Chains A and B, each alone.
Chain A
Amino acid sequence: MQPQKSIERGVATEAAPGITRIDVDAVSSKASRSLYTSRQKIYPKLAHGTFRSVKWVVMLVTLGIYYLLPWIRWDRGPTLPDQAFLLDFANQRLYFGPIEIWAQELYFITGILVISALALFLVTALAGRMWCGYACPQTVWTDLMVVVERFWQGDRNARMRLDKAPWTFEKIWKKTATHVSWILISLATGGVLVFYFRDAPTLAMELVTGEAPLVAYVFMGIFTFSTYLLGGIAREQVCIYMCPWPRIQAAMYDSESLLVSYHGYRGEPRGPHKKGQPWENRGDCIDCKACVAVCPMGIDIRDGQQLECIQCALCIDACDDIMGKVDRPYGLISYDTFRNVEAPSGSERAPVRLLRPRVLVYSGLIALIMALMAWAWIVRSVVEISVIPDRNPLFVVLSDGGVRNGYTIKVLNKTHETRTFQLRIEGLSDFHAAIIGFDTADAPLVVEPDTLRAIKVYVSVPREAASHLDAAATPLTLTVRDLASGDTVVRETTFRSPGS
């Protein structure tokens, strides 16, 4: 502990003999800042206009896709699931309509994720956080929850009044109705998510009759709870404090990116305006705060770009509405570039430059990866062969002086029909081959649909020929031919011997 004297500062003034004034602040006082702040509730007002309409459409389309996708059917034959969009983890398959991805082809998913990330970069470079403002699930569900809230409790002013009002019967039922609706929406959200992982109609029945697997109920519970908590209650707190994107995306704009911006050069000095008053020597902003009232993030766009802004453009709708009423041109708040926003008043607005290096680089990368994936998809084989030579021991010397090598050959038939193959071995002048369990090495090899068959092949070279193998590893070619289609898969391996 420090003695009090050491924190005395400044010149002590004498009020009375023996009494000095100490220049010190209390650690805990009304003026002291808290380490934590309580959340200030935001009451977004309903906006009307172009961007609000766009958001309604995006909400309808994205929620529509989400809720309906698991119910679309796709006939794949009798033994396979007929759900168009199914993540079948139990059988390690992903089904997307005609596309079927096996566990070992998961790189296609990686490709999709890389493209998604690059697309996000591209959109951000072009027009800021469009993803956040329009399509992010957090935005869409929060918007939906606000719609419900508005339905039961009314718009901004009514909601504020209701929150301040004492707990009357009216307040209780309105709040209850709101939360019950939210929970029902959340339940539907969590419920639909599990349908993506199991046949939807079957699982729906199981969920109702209580026969669904425990994991389905657990995940339904988790997603129901998180939808209710994040979309209904936490809302903008998720974007500000939980989501990493605001931090990253802000680094991806440049002076040419289109961002929701307030034109200070046109709006300032702001102030109230009465009908009939002249507009000379003042800005167009009448300080009505309509832009603040509609903002779901609770910010004032006139303060400039800030981390909290999700670029949803509702403030543009609100401001344009007001500009129309006071008979001033639209676009006091609009999508614009830093370059134009910072340009001096009265100077010409520069046209938007879309073709910039970073836009071209992102587009180029997206095109490249899409091309790579398309190529990989075209050359992808429906039959996969892997040859694993025995490594321990590398070779076996037989009693007659010959040398034997063992190979495990795995044939994976990814089609939904039974296929028959034939093995051919080339590269050695004199050898004998045998497949365990088969009479001859060229016997037809039947592989059932959707299955992997592993066979063990032994290749022996007699003494005389073995002594002529000049190298410790002689190249060996194994060819597997589909007897019906004639397609062949060739694998190179080696035949090992002690050498001479």
Chain B
Amino acid sequence: MAGHKEYDAATGAETTGHVWDGDIKELNKPLPKWWLYVLYATIVWSIGYWILYPAWPLAEDYTRGMLGYSQRSVVAQEISDAKQTQAPFLQAVASKSVEEIRSDAGLMEFVRRGGAAQFANNCAPCHGSGAQGFKGYPNLNDDDWLWGGSVESIENTIRFGVRSDHASTHQGVMPRFGLDGLLDKGQISDVAEFVLSLSGKSEDAEKAERGSVVFAEQCAACHGADGKGIVEMGAPNLADAIWLYGGRKQDVVESVHGGRAGMMPAWEGRIDPTAIRMLAIYVHSLGGGE
């Protein structure tokens, strides 16, 4: 600290005596006192805030504040408000027929959005966030439906699942023709060739011809004589362009050899009936519903 007051030559202002780089001196420009009082006011404010609102974490609890404010209860209130707003819509979804829901643009929008949210929560892990499916998990955007593509059929599939533990679940098993020794390797190859020929993908007409006999004996019961599938049995159409497990010969051989038994859980009891209804209408509206 300098002992004497020093004045800057250029401005005539008093300096603090602090010097940088040998010649740069700091001018003494004190802060206004109200500035200090504003600082004190903010401190007082914060103390008041600590007293009124939750503030300090403790070992097992926290200071709760005199106003009894809690963000949790605010959120709970907001959620219950939102549910109250949704209630009439949900009631309408539950009580109205699918046709009535579809003809009500506002309700349909609610159902589509609600269904999309339910889908993202429950279905997306297997069917993909865009319902585009994966190998073994059907694409729900297309127009091919193992267990039927009407809203009612889709609703039933969601409720009961496929090969699930529900009493009314869809059943239907593709036998393990190779593993269980029902067909030999050559027959499997032949029948696979025939199956590919149904959609014009066969490269060996002779094998396909032989395979047609095997098909008629072993496969037609479920997949139909023309291979177009039987919805009641969940047997897929083998004459179309959609292959759940792949459409190369190798994939088809694998399916015949080891069988297929994809599984979908039953959602009845897990999510409420209205949510299932909204899901069914949403899935149906993805573009491929019948």
Query: A interface vs B, CB < 8 Å?
Result: 23, 25, 31, 33-39, 234, 237, 241, 303, 390-393, 396-402, 404, 406, 436, 458, 463
Contact = CB atoms under 8 A, between A and B. Distances in A.
Interface in B121-142: 128-132, 139, 141-142
Contacts of B141: 393, 396, 404, 406
A397 B241 contact: yes
B31 interface: yes
Contacts of B34: 39, 234, 237
A398 B143 CA distance: 6
A392 B32 contact: no
B3 A23 contact: yes
Nearest to B105: A437
B265 to A, nearest CB: 23
Given A392-B129, A393-B130, A393-B141, A39 B1 contact: no
Contact of B32 (A39, A401, A406): A39
B30 interface: yes
Interface string B1-43: 1010100000010101000000000001011111110000000
A34 B30 contact: yes
Contact of A36 (B31, B241, B285): B31
B130 A390 contact: yes
B242 A399 contact: yes
B30 A33 contact: yes
A31 B4 CA distance: 10
Contact of A37 (B1, B30, B242): B30
A163 B175 CA distance: 105
9 contacts: A31-B5, A34-B30, A241-B32, A390-B130, A396-B141, A397-B241, A400-B240, A401-B241, A404-B142
A396 B287 CA distance: 10
A399 B237 contact: yes
B36 A36 contact: yes
Contacts of B242: 397-399
Given A36-B32, A398-B142, 7 more contacts: A25-B3, A33-B16, A34-B30, A391-B130, A392-B132, A393-B128, A396-B142
A219 B240 CA distance: 67
Interface residues of B, number: 32
A328 B139 CA distance: 96
A395 B132 CA distance: 9
Contacts of B3: 23, 25
B170 to A, nearest CB: 20
B259 interface: no
B144 interface: yes
B28 A33 contact: yes
A36 B30 contact: yes
B30 A463 contact: no
B144 A393 contact: no
B287 A406 contact: yes
A303 B12 CA distance: 10
A325 to B, nearest CB: 30
A241 B38 CA distance: 13
Interface string B185-224: 0000000000000010000000000000000000000000
Which 3 pairs show the lowest CB-CB distances between chains A and B?
Answer: A392-B130, A393-B132, A399-B240
Contacts of A237: 32, 34
A496 to B, nearest CB: 13
Contact of A241 (B35, B128, B237): B35
Contacts of B31: 35-37, 241
**Most A CB within 10 A of own CB, among B12, B130, B141:** B141
Contacts of B12: 303
Contacts of A241: 31-32, 35
Nearest to A399: B240
A76 to B, nearest CB: 28
A37 B129 CA distance: 65
Contacts of B33: 36-39
Nearest to A237: B32
A276 B128 CA distance: 101
A176 B14 CA distance: 39
A463 B239 CA distance: 14
Contacts of B142: 396-399, 404
A399 B241 contact: yes
B288 interface: yes
Contacts of B288: 396, 398
B32 A37 contact: yes
A399 B238 CA distance: 10
**Most B CB within 10 A of own CB, among A23, A234, A392:** A392
Given A37-B32, A39-B34, A458-B287, A398 B128 contact: no
Nearest to A25: B3
A154 to B, nearest CB: 26
